[in-house]
């Protein structure tokens, strides 16, 4: 309830994770303010994108889509997110390893 989550490699299709999020949302009502994210491969059908966005948005999850088959984009998305967090001062810079 107090942390933002990033889902990678999760189906988020009425599995235990979704059931837990639904239970938390029901028990807290509209008091949830945390935003969660998932990185997913975009389906080819635009209507499926709209439906998936609505389904997950209802649980407080924002989808970050990447082009179908371009799994190499996931690493780039994560690097951009890390850089943005560092810029905002939310995440400390990585320490250099001493050799």
Residue 3 has pLDDT above 90, yes or no: no
Q: How far apart are CA 67 and CA 71, in angstroms?
A: 8
Tell me what the mean pLDDT of segment 25-42 comes to.
81
Dihedral-angle region of residue 94 (phi above 0 means left; psi in -120 to 50 means alpha; beta otherwise): beta
Task: Classify residue 29 by its DSSP letter.
Answer: G
> Tokens 């970050």 appear where?
64
pTM higher than 0.85: no
pLDDT for the residue 71: 95
């Amino acid at each position: 309830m107090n942390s933002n989550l990033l889902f990678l490699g999760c189906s988020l299709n009425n599995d235990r994770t979704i059931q837990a999020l639904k239970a938390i949302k029901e028990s807290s009502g509209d008091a949830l303010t945390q935003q969660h994210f998932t990185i997913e491969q975009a389906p080819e059908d635009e209507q499926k994108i709209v439906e998936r966005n609505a389904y997950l948005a209802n649980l407080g999850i924002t989808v970050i889509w990447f082009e179908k088959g371009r799994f190499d984009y996931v690493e780039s998305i994560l690097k951009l997110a890390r850089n943005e967090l560092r810029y905002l001062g939310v995440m400390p810079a990585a320490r250099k390893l001493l050799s």
